[in-house]
Amino acid sequence: MWKCPKCGKEFKNTNQSHYCGEKPKTVEEYIMRQDSEKQADLLTIRQALQQSLPEAEERISWGMPTYWKKHNILHFAASQKHIGFYPGPQAVVQFEKELKNYSTDKGTIRIPYGKVDTDLIKRLPYGARAQEIMHKCNIPDTKQKIYDICWKFF
């Protein structure tokens, strides 16, 4: 067991990444608590999501930045070597070809620092969920309809 010299918490892994003290209350506070070299990429993701999801509420959920409207839309979090981006399993499947250069698991995309693709980040929240709804409702595919439909169902 490893004990953090700052807060005294114990962990299985040596130098386990964690928060010493109180968890952040806002997304801005979360980003500002990260190492300075990670902040630029986290701010880039935040700005892309604010543009892509203008009606979503930013909040901290599960200790990480979350975009929410009636339910959690997605989360992201800083890790030592990458940003964990959590848009859900459908988005990972739908964007499989575009994500080939990233490490992925069910619902998880690991984005290395310095490799943030803002255009992809902006599309990920809409992709799979909108396509699923449009397919079930026999609605033709257009970007504006995807946006409109997502906000009706989010």
SS (H, E, C) 15-31: CCCCCCCCCCCCHHHHH
Angstrom distances, CA of residue 87 to CA of 6, 18, 19, 107, 123: 33, 22, 23, 6, 10
Question: What pLDDT is stored for residue 90 in this prediction?
Answer: 82
* pLDDT band at residue 145 using 50, 70 and 90 as cut-offs: low
Question: When comparing pLDDT for 78 and 145, which is higher?
Answer: 78
Q: Beta 103-105 vs 82-86: how paired, if at all?
A: unpaired
pLDDT of residue 75: 94
Amino acid at 145: K
Question: Does residue 152 or residue 113 have the better pLDDT?
Answer: 113
Residue 96 confidence (pLDDT) above 80? yes
Q: What is the pLDDT of residue 84?
A: 97
Q: 152 versus 91: which is more confidently predicted?
A: 91
pLDDT at residue 26 in the model: 96
User: What is the pLDDT, as a whole number, of residue 115?
Assistant: 95
Q: What is the mean pLDDT of residues 11-30?
A: 86
CA distance 148 to 151: 5
Q: What is the pLDDT of residue 105?
A: 93
Mean pLDDT for the chain overall: 84
- Which of the four pLDDT bands, split at 50, 70 and 90, describes residue 6? confident
